[in-house]
Amino acid sequence: MKPISHAVDEARLGIMLNELRLPTIKTLWPRFAEQSDREGWPAARFLAAIAEHELAERAHRRIGRHLAEAHLPPGKTLDSFAFEAVPMISKAQITAMAAGDSWLAKGANVLLFGPPGGGKSHLAAAIGLALIENGWRVLFARTTDLVQKLQVARRELQIEAAIAKLDKFDLLILDDLAYVTKDQAETSVLFELISARYERRSIMITANQPFGEWNRVFPDPAMTLAAVDRLVHHATIFEMNVESYRRRSAIEAKRQRGRPAAFATIKNTPGIDAPRQSEGDDEVARDNQNGNLGLAAT
């Protein structure tokens, strides 16, 4: 049975750890104290052990909060990205970029161009996830959705506050820039956002159209030029000109559906095998002739 003074000390310690907001130490210290007493740990080792667990748990909770606020699409990781299908993308470069230390600190940008289904959104989300795991704050948003929210803020005379609130994110991922309506109200708030983050906070953009077609987004040529100038000044640009992964998957699924008949064996008939038909190969050849065999990451 513990002495009364010992029980009082434990109760006081629990209260103080609550006040100090050290919940992990509050939970773990009795077990570590028992081990420390049993093995004769120095006081410094005991304190270091419980402090290490507190910091690890605090980092885990922080990453959880940052993941929740990031709104990343689920399942998009660097491990699941098909780098071999996008040969113009260097896995080593992307892995280095995922650390974020140098370019995010400078407010540099990343621009990903390519046709729909080429893996731009997957790669952007995967980089965002890796950055969060490395301690950075990220927000992933469809450009049209974010622009609409900023328009509402402008009507309520809160546009500056709304843009300032986005400053807490080290990286803002604007997905599908090209789908913004060519409307003065929409593009003006988008330009204001780009200008506000210029050389201070990073932006990552995915877009189907190259810069030469951005006049479809910004109705004013001068605004187009100014937006492009700010984005590319400190930027890494990836051109992912590959065939749609979704299209490739549909072709592959169609080919697979035809495969059982092409390689069937007539069972229960001794010595008779069905001929290996060529329909599946013919279909692949037709797809190849039509330029449909490009594979891209999702």
Q: Write the DSSP string, 175-192.
A: E-GGGS-S-HHHHHHHHH
Lowest mean pLDDT among 131-140, 196-205, 207-216: 207-216
Compute the C-alpha angle 103/105/110, nearest 5°. 35
Pairing mode, strands 202-207 and 109-113: parallel
Task: Decide: pTM greater than 0.75.
Answer: no
pLDDT digits (tens, 9 = 90+) for 165-190: 999 999 999 999 877 766 677 788 99
pLDDT digits (tens, 9 = 90+) for 98-122: 988 889 999 999 999 998 888 999 9
User: In the prediction, which pLDDT does 216 show?
Assistant: 73
Residue 275 — very low, low, confident or very high, per pLDDT cuts 50/70/90?
A: very low
User: In the prediction, which pLDDT does 247 show?
Assistant: 57
Residue 134 — very low, low, confident or very high, per pLDDT cuts 50/70/90?
A: very high
The per-residue DSSP string of 35-64 comes to HHHHHT--HHHHHHHHHHHHHHHHHHHHHH
Q: Which two tokens stand for residue 92?
A: 């080593």
Assign 28 to helix, strand or coil. Answer: helix
